[in-house]
Chains A and B, each alone.
Chain A
C-alpha cells in the first residue's frame, strides 16, 4: 500500500519566527494522497494552507519560515533530507504548484513561452527551440494561441496569466499538483473554465492533486477527499462523503451553515461568529473553542482529542469523548 502514496506528510510543524513574535502557521498536520486522488484543503484565510503547501515543496521562505518538525515524502523522496540538486529535480517534475497570485507569479521580463520552456529544458534536457515548441503546445492546451508565446506577462489578462501558470505547472506531467486557490483571482465564468481545464488535464496525465480553496462548491465538484484546516491544524479529514454528508466538527458545520446554498440545503445564512485566533498567540485549548457553540470549559483548557469514525474519517474535537455527542447538522443528515 505504501508505494501507492504519492504524498505522505506526518506531523508537519511550520513557524514564522519574526523579531517581535512567532507565527504558529502550521501546527502538526498529517496528509496522505494516493495516485490520481484529489484532496480538497479548505479553511479560512490565515489557516495555514499556503504555508503547508509551500512546505511540501520546501519553499517556505527562510527566514522567517522554519519547518520545525515533520516528515514529507513526495513520490518516494524524503523531502526533508534530499540534497539541493535532488530538490531541483523533484520540483516541477514530481511535484509542482499553481500559485495563489497569478498577477505577481510570472516574471515580467521574460516571455511566457520562455517561462514555460524553462521547465522543459530543466527536466527533459531539450534544446531551447524544441522546448519553445513544447511551450506553444502547452499554451494551446490551456486555451491560449501558441503564437502568443513570445509575448510578455503584462500583455495578458489575469485569467490568461493564471492559465500560463497552470501550463508551467503541468508541462512536465507532475505526479502531484498543488493548486493554491487557482480560481480566486478569476471572475466566475472563467473560474468554471479553468477548473474544467484542470480536471481534463489531470485526467489526461493521471496526476494527484491538492486543491486549496475556501470554496466548498469547488471541493464538492472536484475532490475525492477533504481536509478542513483551522489555525494550522486539520480539524476534520475524510472522504468527500465523510465530510460533506457526515459532518462531525462544529467548525465544518459552521462552514456549511455560512454558505448561502449548497446542494439544495437551503437554510438561513448563519456566519460563524468571531474570528480565527491570531496565529501568533494560540490558545492553550482548542483554537475553535471561543467560537464553538458546543464548547465546554474543558475545551478551552485542554488540547482537542482526535477521534476516528469508520476507516477514513478523523475529527479533532474533544466533544466526541462523549459517545452520545453529535452536532445539529450531523443529526439532521444522519
Chain B
C-alpha cells in the first residue's frame, strides 16, 4: 500500500513538468505581455524595453522556463510580475477560502444527493423516484451563476438572512456560495448514487441479510450502501478536485477571494509566475486528493485492498 502511494506520488513530477510547460507556452502565445498591463499611460518605447528587461521577458521562452524550473526545484514559485509579492504566499493566502468553499459545497451536495439517490433507487419507478430525478436534472441544467444570483436576490437582498458577498460573516457568508457551487454536483452525485444503488439492490447478499432478520433500513443503509459507495466516492472526489482549481463563477458572483479569481486576474494581467505557480500548486493538491480517494476505495472494499497490496509488491 505504501509503495503504491509512493508510486502515485512520483507520478506527480512529470505531470507538473508538462503542465507548467504548457502554461508557459500558452501565456507566451497569448496576445500582449505583463508589460502592456503594467506600463503607465504614455510610456516611451524605452520605458517598455526597460520593464521587459526587468521582468526577464526579453529572454527566450525556454530560458525563462528553465529558470522557473530551477527555482521550483529550490522550492520557490517566484514572485508576481504585478504585485511583486511571493507567489506561494499569495496562493496560500487564497487557498483556505477555496478549500472552505469546496468542502462546504461538497458537503451540501452529498448531504442532499445521498438520501435523494437512495430513496430514488429504493422506490425505483415511483413518483418519489421521478421527483428526485427531475430535481437532479434541474440542478444540472441551472447555470451556477444564475442560482447564485437568485439566492442573492431572495435570501440576501430580499430576506437579509445571508450576506450577498465577501467572507467577513464567517459561516453565514459561506452558506449561499456553498449552495450555489453545490447545486451542480447534487445532480451528478444523486444520479450516481441512484444507479450504483440500483445495481446493488438486486444482489443475493441482501436477501441473505433479510433472511437473517436484518431490518430493511439496515439492509439499505449498511449492507447495500457500503457496496454502492465506490462510484459515489469517485464522482465526489472528482468534483471536489475540480473545485480546488477554484470555481470562478461562484467566486465572482459572491466576491469570494479564492483561487479561481486569483488565476483569472493573473491571466488577465499576463502574470505568468502567478498563473503557473497557482496551477502547479493546484495540480499537486488535486493529485494528493485523488490519491486519498484511491486509498479510500481500499478502506471501503477489501477486495481492492488485496489488489493494492499485490500491485505495491510488483
Residues of A within 8 A of B (CB): 54, 57, 59, 61, 84-85, 88-93, 96-97, 99, 101, 104-111, 115, 118-119, 122-123, 152, 154-155, 165, 168-169
> What are the residues of chain A within 8 A of B300 when measuring CB–CB?
109
B214 within 8 A of A: yes
Asked whether any CB of chain A lies closer than 8 Å to the CB of B210, the reply is: yes
Complex CA distance for A199 and B203, rounded to whole angstroms: 29
Contact A96-B303, Cβ < 8 Å, known A101-B204, A108-B205:
no
B128: interface (CB < 8 Å): no
| Complex Cα–Cα for A6 and B148 (A) | 64
Cα–Cα, bound, A105→B215 (Å): 17
A residues less than 8 Å from B158 (CB atoms): none
Complex CA gap A104/B209 in Å reads: 12
Question: Which of A59, A90, A97, A109 is within 8 Å of B302, CB to CB?
Answer: A109
Q: Could you tell me if A107 and B213 are in contact, using CB atoms closer than 8 angstroms?
A: no
CB distance from A263 to the nearest CB of B (A): 35
Query: Who on chain B is nearest to A91 by CB?
Result: B213
Contact, CB under 8 Å: B214 / A99: no
Given A107-B227, A152-B302, A152-B303, A91-B203 contact (CB < 8 Å) = no
5 A-B pairs with C-beta separation under 8 A: A99-B207, A99-B208, A105-B204, A108-B205, A165-B208
Contacts of B203 in A (CB 8 A): 104
Instruction: List B residues 186-245 near A (Cβ within 8 Å).
Output: 202-216, 223, 226-227
Determine if A108 and B227 form an interchain contact, defined as CB atoms under 8 angstroms apart: yes
Specify which chain B residues have a CB less than 8 angstroms from the CB of A97 in the assembled complex.
211
Q: How far is the CA of A118 from the CA of B209 in the complex (A)?
A: 9
How distant is B103 from chain A, measured CB to nearest CB, in Å?
A: 26
Cβ–Cβ < 8 Å partners of A106 in chain B: 205, 208
Nearest chain-B residue to A57 (Cβ)? B211
User: For the complex, is B71 an interface residue (Cβ under 8 Å from A)?
Assistant: no
B131 on the interface (CB 8 Å rule)? no
In the complex the two chains form, what is the Cα distance from A90 to B214 in whole Å? 11
- In the assembled complex, the CB of A219 is this many whole angstroms from the nearest CB of chain B, namely 23
Q: Give chain B nearest CB distance to A244 CB in angstroms.
A: 31
Of the listed residues B207, B211, B216, B302, the one surrounded by the most CB atoms of chain A closer than 10 A to its CB is B211
Q: CB of B306 within 8 A of chain A? A: yes
**B301 lies within 8 A of A109 (CB):** yes
Nearest 3 CB-CB pairings of A with B: A92-B213, A152-B302, A104-B204
Is there an interface contact between B213 and A108, defined as CB atoms closer than 8 Å? no
Contact A108 B303 (CB under 8 A): yes
Q: CB within 8 A of A168: which of B204, B212, B303?
A: B212
Residue of A nearest to B124 (CB): A63
User: Which of A54, A93, A107, A152 has a CB less than 8 Å from the CB of B209?
Assistant: A107
Determine the distance from Cα of A239 to Cα of B208 in the docked complex, in whole angstroms.
31
- Cα A89 to Cα B208 with chains together (Å): 15
Residue contact A119 to B205, C-beta cutoff 8 Å: no
A88 to chain B: closest residue by CB: B213
Q: A196 to chain B: closest CB distance in Å? A: 23
Cβ B303 vs Cβ A88 within 8 A: no
Nearest-Cβ distance from residue A31 to partner chain B, whole angstroms: 18
B301 partner residues in chain A, CB cutoff 8 A = 108-109
Q: Are A88 and B205 in contact (CB under 8 A)?
A: no
In angstroms, Cα B303 to Cα A111, docked, is: 11
Residues of A contacting B226 in the complex (Cβ-Cβ under 8 angstroms): 109-110
Q: Check A96/B211 contact, CB under 8 A, given A108-B205, A109-B301, A154-B306.
A: yes
Given contacts A104-B203, A108-B303, A109-B300, contact A122 B208 (CB under 8 A): no
